[in-house]
């Protein structure tokens, strides 16, 4: 998934007048998905709750005391935000959604933490 698709995903938000996620946040999600879903010979489907926990764990480890500022800069503070970012990436061909995946599954995950 090239940088071009990520740029297109970011531009699509502005065209649609949707709340903005940073390009860095979208790229972080895409790379995290590749790491977490890859299993030797292929990729496995991740449920919303699994991805939410992987994102929470990875961001806490990667950004430590800068987590609140990073999540704010990414524009991703809740499971609902994460779900919207994932669906945006899918709409631009950056990833494939699991069959039956819904935004409600992500919203049910709650807050990512990291608030000041």
pLDDT tens per residue across span 59-96: 999 999 999 999 999 999 999 999 999 998 888 888 88
- Could you tell me which of 68, 69, 60 has the C-alpha nearest to residue 32? 60
pLDDT tens per residue across span 14-66: 666 666 788 889 889 989 988 888 777 767 788 999 999 999 999 999 999 99
- CA quadruple 22, 23, 28, 29: dihedral sign: positive
| Per-residue confidence band for 116, with pLDDT thresholds at 50, 70 and 90 | very low
Residue pair 47/65 in contact (Cβ under 8 Å)? The answer is no
pTM for the predicted model, two decimal places: 0.82
DSSP of 33-47: HHHHHEETTEE----
């Amino acid at each position: 998934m090239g940088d071009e698709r990520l740029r297109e995903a970011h531009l699509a938000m502005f065209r649609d007048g949707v709340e903005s996620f940073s390009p860095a946040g979208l790229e972080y999600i895409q790379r995290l998905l590749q790491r977490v879903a890859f299993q030797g010979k292929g990729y496995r489907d991740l449920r919303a709750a699994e991805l939410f926990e992987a994102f929470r764990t990875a961001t806490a480890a990667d950004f430590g005391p800068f987590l609140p500022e990073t999540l704010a800069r990414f524009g991703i503070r809740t499971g609902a935000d994460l779900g919207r970012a994932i669906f945006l990436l899918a709409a631009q061909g950056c990833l494939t959604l699991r069959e039956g995946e819904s935004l409600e599954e992500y919203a049910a995950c709650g807050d990512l933490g990291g608030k000041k």
